[in-house]
């Protein structure tokens, strides 16, 4: 009688888990992981078959005539072909940045670079739109009343005689009038060598900037108007902006926000936050969010990320599905805090001189009370609650469904900060 194997069901579960991970976490470099680690599937497959055969032999059950069936050999050969193909593409892909975009693999070939430059006179505070294109862009405010583009075009082709026509048929264009400017990389339609660019764009300091991205890095700084970034990119850096900042899209690398004088809104499929200003800095990567110097009211909602916030002012609201949370307000008086964590540990360090009341609850975990007299931990089964007050101050509410909570006192800094000044007056 033919004996069934567990390998096929387990393989089906693994494939389903990969696609589920891709749907839940679009920023996950899944292509990269598969291209690098696919041989582990063969190792696990063989190990499971050995364990099955040893178990059948130990229980005196009939052993299969062959350790691996003909159908399994076909799947193994197919897996090897696909895995080696993905690994080759990962190794030789053009300007491989450490991960391959899920949307596709770039053409294999040699890169040919061509210098580009363009400029156009503008008003002192124009609206500048950067259309989406393949490559990197750096946008910087300057004292001149003009938009000036410098950098290079890159054509990927097998030979220079194929790249030259693509260069002649593509160009960086600046269109519009003095108050409405559009910068775009015009490329030929249809099939042919891929054209990308690495551009440095100088705009008037008073400009507002809108950048639509498909890939590459984005750097924006030293402008007084509003900044909006949308689409998909690798790394994003926005700093020294006087106007409101709006960011929406997917970022596979790092996001850095610093010295932003007005409202900041960020939205990706995993994380969404807003703040009245960021006089300090915020950093995000694939698994972490850290902020030092944040002006509220601020809200943060994330599905999976470790979060560390320090030196924040005004009310703070946090909703975290998975991940650890570390809060350290260093200035007094404190702001109201409302934090909910479904799965993860919470650490809160409060200033020594702070006045506040607190209610911290964990449904399945432990609470460490480092606040001293006036604060008490009550236990009811697996549920623990910390309550108490120190003077007359704002309310701190912390809830964790699965995880520990630690609350203690640390050093304090008096709030001597001056009102946030507008940049580039």
Could you read off the pLDDT of 174-232 as tens digits, one per residue? 999 999 999 999 887 766 688 899 999 999 999 999 999 878 899 999 999 999 999 88
- Report the pLDDT averaged over residues 278-285: 95
Contact yes or no for 235/215 (Cβ under 8 A) = no
pLDDT of residue 417: 41
Nearest by Cα to 309 from 278, 264, 354: 278
Round to the nearest angstrom and report the end-to-end CA distance of the chain.
Answer: 85
Contact yes or no for 135/154 (Cβ under 8 A) = yes
Nearest by Cα to 209 from 171, 234, 236: 236
Distance CA 358, CA 393 (A): 10
Compute how many other C-beta atoms are within 10 angstroms of the C-beta atom of residue 203. 30
Report which of residues 189 and 274 the model is more confident about.
274
pLDDT of residue 381: 86
> What is the percentage of the chain residues whose pLDDT exceeds 90?
55
In which band, very low, low, confident or very high, does the pLDDT at 158 lie, cut at 50, 70 and 90?
confident
- Report the pLDDT averaged over residues 161-170: 90
Nearest by Cα to 340 from 325, 319, 364, 309: 319
Return the minimum-mean-pLDDT range out of 99-113, 199-213, 318-332, 383-397. 99-113
């Amino acid at each position: 009688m033919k004996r069934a194997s567990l390998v096929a069901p387990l393989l089906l579960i693994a494939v389903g888990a990969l696609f589920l991970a891709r749907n839940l976490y679009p920023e996950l470099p899944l292509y990269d992981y598969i291209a690098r680690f696919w041989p582990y599937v063969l190792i696990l497959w063989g190990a499971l078959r050995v364990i099955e055969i040893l178990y059948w032999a130990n229980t005196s059950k009939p052993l299969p005539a062959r350790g691996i069936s003909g159908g399994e050999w076909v799947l193994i050969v197919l897996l090897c072909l696909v895995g080696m193909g993905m690994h080759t593409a990962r190794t030789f892909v053009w300007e491989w940045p450490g991960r391959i975009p899920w949307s596709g693999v770039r053409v294999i070939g040699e890169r040919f670079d061509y210098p580009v430059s363009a400029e156009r006179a503008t008003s002192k505070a124009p609206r500048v739109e950067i259309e989406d294109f393949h490559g990197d862009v750096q946008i910087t405010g300057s004292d001149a009343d003009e938009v000036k583009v410098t950098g290079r075009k890159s054509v990927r082709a097998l030979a220079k005689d194929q790249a030259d026509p693509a260069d002649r048929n593509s160009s960086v264009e600046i269109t519009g009038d003095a108050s409405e400017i559009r910068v775009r990389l015009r490329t030929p339609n249809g099939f042919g060598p891929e054209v990308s660019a690495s551009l440095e764009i100088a705009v008037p300091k008073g400009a507002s900037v809108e950048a639509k991205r498909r890939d590459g890095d984005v750097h924006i700084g030293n402008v007084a108007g509003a900044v909006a970034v949308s689409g998909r990119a690798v790394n994003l850096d926005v700093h020294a902006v006087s106007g409101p900042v709006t960011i929406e899209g997917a970022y596979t690398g790092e996001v850095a926000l610093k010295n932003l004088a007005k409202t900041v809104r960020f939205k990706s499929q995993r994380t969404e936050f807003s703040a009245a200003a960021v006089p300090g800095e915020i950093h995000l990567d694939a698994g972490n969010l850290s902020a030092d110097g944040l002006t509220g009211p601020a809200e943060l909602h994330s599905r999976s990320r470790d979060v560390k916030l320090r030196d924040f002012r005004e009310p703070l609201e946090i909703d975290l599905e998975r991940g650890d949370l570390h809060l350290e307000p260093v200035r007094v008086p404190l702001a109201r805090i409302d934090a909910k964590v479904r799965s993860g540990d919470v650490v809160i360090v409060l200033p020594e001189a702070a006045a506040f009341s607190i209610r911290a609850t964990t449904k399945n975990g432990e609470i460490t009370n480092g606040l001293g007299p006036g604060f008490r931990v009550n236990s009811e089964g697996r549920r623990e609650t910390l309550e108490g007050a120190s003077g007359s101050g704002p309310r701190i509410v912390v809830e964790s469904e699965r995880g520990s909570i630690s609350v203690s006192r640390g050093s304090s800094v008096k709030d001597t900060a001056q009102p946030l000044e507008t940049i580039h007056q």
